[in-house]
A and B are shown apart, each in its own frame.
Chain A
């Protein structure tokens, strides 16, 4: 009995396809659970819309988000300007559509730096233990102690205010959470029998790290990441609000809220709509993150697996 004999068109391709099957089945179950959680679906839709706007926003904007048309300033929401205009006469909706990309780029940048760094650090701390663990965890504590916004502000002040600098600053304080998360998982996984079995067969530390510890960390990392995205976006908006992030005329949502602050009483739409945008986005990521956490929870999966199998067999028998 050999793989080749069973698969006439042998080859690595066939092998990968067969290997992929159970993995896709597992993901299939995850999506099934997600689809059936109303809140997760809502969150997912919000996130997807947000990403869509971020990518295509600038092209969808009916008006130029940057050009000034003074005679149209402070127009209340109307048919031609659904979200009104701001103090420079710029269409608020167009600015929002064009500005979404900055929020998401900010979020992605911070996490792209913080997550790999934190994961690696936490993994090393958890795997090696001993004084390496102690030292790394104390360093983590130091960074955790920093008030993130204040640090970001000083960074921006030093390097010059810009969204990019603010994001770099944020990523410096964002990684400790991931380090702790992965360290905890690493400590738990390290004690498992399957790790001892691998060590007894001669597996080195790096093998244990990449083949056992990290794959078992993926679920919690994914959940935290999704939830985090919302918070990073908020932090970026906050920094921009305070003037340390995006600079005019970049239509970043936090900045927009700040710009419209003074005119709140006579032109509320300038601040409120970007503010609502931020709130909705964070809500979306939170709901989605919760949904993913539930979908990856082993107990819930076992319970739902039965329903799912029944749904699949009945659909395939009728089709």
Chain B
């Protein structure tokens, strides 16, 4: 049985809206989410704007402190970690961001940008550090002469490779990919996705991949979580979620995503979801999705659905089901 690398239990995070010192409202970014990420797996998190996937990921890495609930790393409660333990934890986790233009310090040479984690954790110094960076550059498909250059001399795709090289420095076990390919052209994206798969196998990494692009998530992940307005509405393996989408939101999402087959427009498609995503400050009662749900029942506004296992680890949070 594979070990669980990350786990969160009943994780809740909200952001208070203050008027001077008084709290006048809350942004319910993440509400009572439980998730476990197996070691060596790739978990994809999908959802539209305001669903809380970015906040969930940041809280998982303890870059934000949870309002309530626990985050466990290899079984240890991160909340109980001392400063030193937290630092060691940070060595094992890395992030790759969406925008390759703002994620690299423009004033630093590539060698220093990629070597920064090595510097932070005092792993290597001087020419040893630069040698280590050289190896990382080679791994991501860049060359020796790129070592002492500035980031602005590189294209978007190359910069993303630099960001990945930096993420790989100091031997992390886990990488959070926050919309890492969303800003790239399709042909560049393909190279990066292929590379991410290779690296995962070569370094035995665990990925958490956040994206709004369903096909990319499907390509990369073995488990998928669908989030809506701060809650996890469906979770399962790739085949379960894409092959047998159960929650009405998941179905709506998959129906909405345009396919590459032009003949699909003639086939009867599921009705498009109406309306917009409501605000996270004043979310609907009961099931958050009920105002837009085509299968809505009167009970849906009162009862909050729990995640139920519909078989083989396929979790769905929907009342009628």
Contact = CB atoms under 8 A, between A and B. Distances in A.
Interface in B40-61: 61
A19 B105 contact: no
B148 A18 contact: yes
A216 B105 contact: yes
B99 to A, nearest CB: 6
B279 to A, nearest CB: 24
Among A10, A196, A215, A218: residue with most chain B CB under 10 A: A196
Interface in B130-158: 130-131, 134-135, 138, 144, 147-150
Interface of B: 61, 63, 86-91, 93-95, 97, 99, 102-109, 111, 113, 116-117, 119-121, 126-127, 130-131, 134-135, 138, 144, 147-150, 163, 166, 170, 176
B98 to A, nearest CB: 8
Interface residues of A, number: 32
Contact of B90 (A1, A12, A202, A212): A202
Given A4-B131, A18-B148, A194-B103, A200 B61 contact: yes
A48 interface: no
A313 B104 CA distance: 29
Given A19-B148, A211-B116, A197 B103 contact: yes
A273 B318 CA distance: 89
B115 to A, nearest CB: 11
Contacts, number: 97
Nearest to B102: A193
B121 A202 contact: yes
A212 B112 CA distance: 11
Nearest to A6: B144
Given A18-B148, A21-B148, A202-B90, A4 B127 contact: yes
A212 B150 CA distance: 15
Contacts of B163: 197
A12 to B, nearest CB: 6
Contacts of B93: 200-201
B99 A197 contact: no
Contacts of A19: 109, 111, 148
Contacts of A216: 105-107
6 contacts: A2-B135, A4-B131, A197-B94, A197-B166, A200-B61, A216-B106
A197 B164 CA distance: 11
Contacts of B117: 201-202
Given A194-B105, A200-B94, A1 B127 contact: no
